[in-house]
Amino acid sequence: MPDAESFSGSCLCGAVKFTAQIAQREMAVCHCSMCRKWSGGMFFAAEAEQIAFEDETQLGVYSSSDWGERCFCNACGTTLMWRGKDGSHTALAVPTLDRAPEFALTTQIFIDEKPDSYDFAQTTTNLTGAEVFAMFAPPS
């Protein structure tokens, strides 16, 4: 795996600023109903290996499942990341990165929940909700 690159980013109002280590300039989009409600559309994310916040006082955390949580800015509401409670995965919102245009769309998850009203032109890996749960959710 290539060495991780450092990317800076922030929320809309600048109350939450961070530096993230990202190994691949690739992003996935999540079509699940929770991500669509949380982000106001689909959730574009890159896997971050590490995130360092300048100040976490405005970082809000919502426990959205037994194994995952969604982080946002308490001041402006910007969607920032989904992360596993066990620390195994962090999906950082690509639009919050200062260099977001450098990321290629490669994967769509919860493809079975995608509304019929839109489609992407790129050829991507497409995973259903069941396939995503098999990857990240702890066994029942």
- Other CB atoms closer than 10 Å to residue 128's CB: what's the count? 13
Full pLDDT tens readout for the chain, 140 residues: 468 899 999 999 999 999 999 999 999 999 999 999 999 999 999 999 999 999 999 999 999 999 999 999 999 999 999 999 998 899 999 999 998 778 999 999 999 999 999 898 888 899 999 998 888 877 77
pTM exceeds 0.75 for this model: yes
Query: Which residues, in sequence order, are bridge partners of residue 104?
Result: 26
- Could you say which DSSP state residue 90 is in? E
